[in-house]
Structure formats: C-alpha cells, structure tokens
Copies of this chain bind each other. A is one copy, B any other.
C-alpha cells in the first residue's frame, strides 16, 4: 500500500524541524489545531488523512501548496469542486481533454488565456 500523504507530511515537517524547533510534531499540531497523538498516527499512516480544513491549515503551517497536499490525500478542495459543479459538462470535457497533455502544453494554454484577450 501507498502512503504518499503521511510520508510527505512527515518528511517535510522533520526537515523543517532540524532547523526550527517550531516544527516539532506537537507545535504543528497546536497550530493546526489537532491532537498530537492524532497527527503522529497520521504521519505514520496509521490513520487516514484528516479533513479538508485541517489539511489546508497543515499545508499552510508547513509552507506547502494546499492543492498539492490535498491531492496527496486523494482530495480536491471544495472550492475547485464548486467551480466544476457550476458548469459540469463544460469542465468535465475540459479536464478529460487536458488529462493527457504534457505539463508545458497545459501551462501554455493557461498563460495564453490569462494574457490574451479571451
């Protein structure tokens, strides 16, 4: 089995902790507002990842991208889900069309749309 979320969180936090004691498990748990023992189990893959809100706060506390950390937990933020739900057919097609495009092509489209006169 795969534990991408737990491994990632643990390794990022421990790396930060080597330099800054504010990144101890207990202190981070305090900032994120969950029980240290719970975070401990999460980091070791003994518990499933927490809810969306806690993951976002955890990502913020660790200085990581919340969308990425959520993805490691197999989740998509409710904000992005809401975007899709407003125009489901359109965005479903968009996502399926872009699924197999290489990163640079997707990034290029994003850039062009943002810069251009659409």
C-alpha spacing A75/B86, complex, angstroms: 11
A61-72 Cβ-contact flags toward B at 8 Å (1 or 0): 000010110110
User: Which of A10-18, A43-51, A90-98 is found at the contact surface with chain B?
Assistant: A90-98
Q: Which of B71, B77, B84, B113 contacts A101 (CB 8 A)?
A: B113
Chain B residues lying within 8 Å of A65, measured Cβ to Cβ, are 88-89
Tell whether, in the assembled complex, residue A67 and residue B88 are in contact, meaning their CB atoms are under 8 Å apart: yes
Query: Per DSSP, are chain A's interface residues mostly helix, strand or loop, or mixed?
Result: helix
In contact, B85 and A76 (Cβ under 8 angstroms): yes
Interface residues of A in 22-53 (CB under 8 A from B): none
Contact B71–A83 (Cβ < 8 Å):
no
Whole-angstrom CA separation of A105 from B116 in the bound complex: 12
Interface residues of A, Cβ cutoff 8 Å to B = 65, 67-68, 70-71, 74-77, 80-81, 83-99, 101, 103, 105-107, 109-110, 113-114, 118
